[in-house]
Structure 1
Amino acid sequence: MKKTLFMTLTSLSLFACNGSEIIEKQHATGNYYDPQKPVVISEMLPSWGQIDQNYLIRGNFPKDTANIRVYFGTKKAVVLGCDGRELYGMVPKLYPGLNSLSVVVGNDSIVTDFQFKYYQKQSLKNIVGKENEGDEYIEGTFDEARIKNPTGLGTVTGQDGDNIIMVEGEWESRISLISLDDNKMIKIGDVGWCGGPAVTSTRDKFYVIGREGNRSVYSFSKADGWVATPVADLTITNDMLSGGSVVGGLTFAEDDRYLYVMTGDGYMGCIDLVEKSFERLLEKDDWDGVNVGTNWISYLVYSKYYHCFFATHEGGNGIFKITQNAEGKWIAKKFAGFNNGDNIVLGHRLNDAVLRSPSGIAVNKDGEIFFGSKSGSCILKIKGDMVSLVAGVPNAWWTGVSNEPLESGFNQPLAIVTDYEDNFYIADRDKRLVRKLTIE
């Protein structure tokens, strides 16, 4: 999301709500700082708000904003100006709840008793597709376009922000570019049933892999116009990996040389794209005593926040954390879910949570884990040890779509990915939609 600030040379109006109070601050050109007095903070307005809202701090400070830093909790705020007695700027994205105000002037830090209560903005909107309409795939503008079976998503760099790569890897197969630059969807490839996409760290290239059988790997590069290019001298056979399906089990980790792949029946391996070699990392009996099933849908993501993988296995009804120990052995441990039930249950990730066929999974920059519940018709979040609801009406797939996240229906949400601003894109398969979830 682009943030645009409109300023004049003579005035700047700040509006902030504090109960019924409305504050309007006219920009002062003078310098009211008194160097004979200590730097102090006497007032903060407002006491609550949201991202990009204006804040106003009163006190006694040097006018030069280059030497002033404002923090709400641990998050640095934008400082727009100071006249020596009033400092103003914009509230950053924060954690919900109370955040302490502190101001750093030069090398001196001023910790205050002021608390800013932050409320998250949440919104949900359809990007492409129309609810329950998708008997035929149709390219075109977002109003015209129709999709059928979205199973995989990735975000790549566009002109002004991100664009979306969509894989339809069931029943019919195709790969599409959903261009937020042009508000259009176009088909860019069809390599047969495939899993992925896995986007490189440069975010201008992605890979897919054949879903089953002797699997070929294909790359698509922005520089080459997103044309499918087979990776030469590389085929991943069933003997090397397994005969299970690859749907969402494809991702990079710390190095774009290594592409990690996972099947729905519990096999995971690493493809060396330089040496054109393959190493099997996990087999079907390596999942912490859990029978992950036979060829169920699964998704794999790597978190640079935690430096590990997370994997959903529909058959196991849970989420695994995958790490490598000091001896180089890969270990999958139960992380969330694995409790049976016909309804979504929130609470402690292992002791309480019923996840109902977890599907696509993403980790944001703050280490919060978001994932779809395919059978539970909702989007869930893990923060710390707790599972909470962020979007959808649990166990009610028939609910119609809405812009209100907690009032909108989902019907088998599969892939979920983040963009560069930590917005989420969701492949809502049976609603036949790609949707954007913003949580700020």
Structure 2
Amino acid sequence: MKSKKFEFLLPILFSGLLVFAHSCKDETYVYQQDSDKGTPFNPNLPVEITGFMPDSGKIAEKVVINGSNFGNIASEVKVFFNDGYSDKEASVISVNGSSIYCLAPRLSGGDNQIKVIVSESTETVAPKTFHYTASAYVSWVAGIGLRDGTGAFYQDGTLAESHFHKIMGIVALGDDQIMTFGSYESMANKVRFISVNDNRVITLQDGVYLGKPAINEDKTAVYATTLNPTHTVYEYRKDNGWMPYRIGEIPERGSGYDHIQSMVMMDKEHDPAQEWLYFCHKSGYFGRFNINTQQTEDLGENLFDQADYVGYLVYDKFNNCFYLSHHTKYCIYKISKTGATWTDGVRSDIYAGSPSQSAVVDGSLADARFRDPRGMCMDDDGNLYICEFNNSNVIRKISALDGYVSTVAGTLNVESPQTNGDPAEAIFLDPRDISYDGNGNFFIAEWWEATIRRYAVQ
């Protein structure tokens, strides 16, 4: 009887051990809102961090911060990771007095300082750093490219069926939606809408030769102007299905046949009404257009040497200035205001590269060289990304931290076959423009036999 009773109890004991082992194994990784557990926050005592685990990881890494006086209300606790650019807030899952469970945000690669703030007042910093491993890859988004041979044509349909030709500009709308703007040829002079989630490409506007568009901060309105005079300004609104509406014209400036390659809009902090579109004429004029009054203001002239097509423009909200890529001068210009407002005067200076040397060389702002800089965009931290066109086939980055110019994607001087994967081994075919979606994705538009590519950094 004794042995039979033992045999009967064995399954129960074994299952109990399994439950215990499973609960111990998952204790660190199963998050619950323990608002009724742990010691409440005491404002008269310091908040202390004794350590955290793991020491390193990537985006959405589960991080457990140990210490004291964290309280027991998750909504009153904030955790920030600082990657040298700025504080990035983590998602706090639960708090139990001596432990905080959170998910690491998207960061720049390298060491990050962890900071905890409780009840919006008490702040403390971890005694060590968290090493973030950023991963990057290049992937295909849409377009046939070279798959069916060369030739100028376009085609709507699924992402795999679509064909693009000579894209001048691209803009990321968020939620994996994109618009492209084509060049002067009949197979290219179109505005296209791409929805990755819906697996479709459609033509929104036909027979227009438009440059790089501007987009407002909420990503609800896009603006573009025809490259040639008279420069007709079009508006595309999300609430109207991104259909085009003509809202005004920009007068021609300078001698010779004028061009406007791109337009940009400031953020809400610097333009609360989001009403001004800034642009450069190829003759060296710098101006802005008001979308509400349809008035144009000239802000400066003779800012740079004339080019067939003046370069792409980007606004830097961190330094309240503009950058212009000048492909015939192989450099990036910086456009700054000289007074209290932009109407008080502007100036331009060479920011990176040299007008006397065309090459792809990484280095400091003064030592770096560009061969054919075209489309540009800026990420959340103020890093500037630049397409190297005309057989260079690489993407360059100017760091906001130290101004170092590096090559982050593409294979120099190689254009076929179009290849995805590791950014260092990826192959682009004349990348013409680039746009950032605010969520770690850079969408790149190629020029000849184009595909749309994604350079993702997580």
| Equivalent position of 2:11 in the other structure | none
Shift of 1:35: 8.7
- Which position in structure 2 is the counterpart of 1:299? 312
Counterpart for residue 152 of structure 1: 169
Alpha carbons 1:244, 1:294 under 8 Å: kept: no
The 1:57–1:178 alpha-carbon spacing in structure 2 relative to 1, beyond 3 Å, is same
Match of 1:105 in 2: 118
Paired residues of 2:286 and 2:303 also in contact (CA < 8 A): no
Q: Is the 8 A contact 2:40 2:72 kept in 1?
A: no
Is the Cα contact below 8 Å between 1:34 and 1:60 reproduced in 2? Answer: no
| Residue ranges of structure 2 left out of the alignment (5+ in a row) | 1-21
Aligned in 2, Cα 1:426/1:33: closer, same or farther, shift over 3 Å? same
1:365 aligns with 2:380: yes
190, 203, 213: which one aligns with 1:197: 213
Aligned partners of 2:232, 2:254: CA distance in 1, in Å? 13
Deviation by residue 1:373-395 (Cα, 9 ceiling, x = unmatched): 11421111111321012111123
Question: What pairs with 1:201-280 in structure 2 (closer than 5 Å)?
Answer: 201-231=217-247, 234-239=248-253, 243-247=257-261, 249-253=262-266, 254=271, 255-280=273-298
SS in 2 for 1:348: coil
Q: Kindly name which structure, 1 or 2, has the bigger radius of gyration based on alpha carbons.
A: 2
Q: How many correspondences in the alignment? A: 411
Distance 1:174 1:337 in 2: 33
TM score, norm. by length of structure 1 = 0.84
Take 2:445 and 2:232, find their aligned partners in 1: how far apart are those partners?
24
Q: Is the 8 A contact 1:297 1:359 kept in 2?
A: no
Cα distance in structure 1, aligned partners of 2:275 and 2:255: 19
Higher strand share: 1
Of 424, 427, 430, the residue aligned with 2:445 is: 427
> Is 1:315 aligned to 2:315, yes or no?
no
Q: Relative to structure 1, is the Cα distance of residues 100 and 395 closer, same or farther in structure 2, using a 3 angstrom cutoff?
A: same
Query: For residues 430 and 401 of structure 1, what CA distance do their matches in structure 2 show?
Result: 15
Task: Give the direction of change, closer, same or farther, for the CA distance of 1:264–1:411 in structure 2 (3 Å limit).
Answer: farther
Residue deviations 1:390-417, cap 9 Å, x none? 1111233336311221110122211111
Residue identity matched to 1:204: T
In the alignment, the residues of structure 2 paired with residue 223 and residue 149 of structure 1 have an alpha-carbon distance, to the nearest angstrom, of: 28
Residue identity opposite 2:237 in structure 1: S
1:389 to 402, 407, 412: 407
Q: Which residue of 1 aligns with 2:395?
A: 379
For the pair 1:67 / 2:96, whether they are aligned, the reply is no
Partners of 1:240 and 1:280 within 8 A in 2: no
With 329-338 and 261-270 compared, the bigger mean Cα shift is at 261-270
Residues 411 and 427, structure 2, Cα contact 8 Å, conserved in 1: yes
**Contact 1:13-1:26 at 8 Å conserved across structures:** no
CA distance 1:322–1:235, change in 2 (3 Å):
same
1:90 corresponding residue in structure 2:
103
Percentage identity across aligned positions?
24
Match of 1:48 among 32, 37, 56: 56
For 1:340 and 1:123, locate their aligned partners in 2 and report how far apart those are by CA, in whole Å: 34
Residue 190 of structure 1 and its aligned partner are, at CA, apart by 1.7
1:424 deviates by 1.2
Instruction: State how far apart, in whole Å, the 1-side matches of 2:201 and 2:31 are.
Output: 45
Q: Distance in 1 between matches of 2:25 and 2:81?
A: 18
Sort the Cα spacing of 1:318 and 1:42 in 2 relative to 1 into closer, same or farther, 3 A. Answer: same
* 1:164 Cα deviation from its structure 2 partner: 0.9
Letter in 2 for 1:347: G
Alignment partners' CA distance in 1, 2:331 and 2:101: 47
CA contact (8 A) 2:49 2:127 kept: no
Q: Could you tell me how far apart the structure 2 residues matched to 1:199 and 1:32 are?
A: 47
User: Greater CA deviation, 27-36 or 103-112?
Assistant: 27-36
CA–CA distance in structure 2, aligned partners of residues 213 and 13 of structure 1: 71
Letter in 1 for 2:81: F
2:441 and 2:24 mapped to 1: Cα distance?
29
8 Å Cα contact 1:152/1:166 also seen in 2:
yes
Structure-2 separation of matches of 1:274 and 1:24: 55
Q: Partners in 1 of 2:210 and 2:68 — Cα distance?
A: 62
Give the drift of 1:357: 1.1
| Alpha carbons of structure 1 residues 12 and 416: separation in structure 2 relative to 1, 3 Å | farther
CA contact (8 A) 1:241 1:269 kept: no
Please state whether the residue corresponding to 1:223 is helix, strand or coil. Answer: helix
Match of 2:128 among 101, 114, 131: 114
Change (3 A) 1:339 1:269: closer
- Shift of the 83–269 alpha-carbon distance from structure 1 to 2, 3 Å rule, reads closer
Q: Distance in 2 between matches of 1:267 and 1:75?
A: 38
User: Does the 8 Å contact 2:287/2:297 carry over to 1?
Assistant: yes
Give the conservation status (yes or no) of the 8 Å contact 2:58–2:134: yes
Q: CA RMSD in A?
A: 2.9
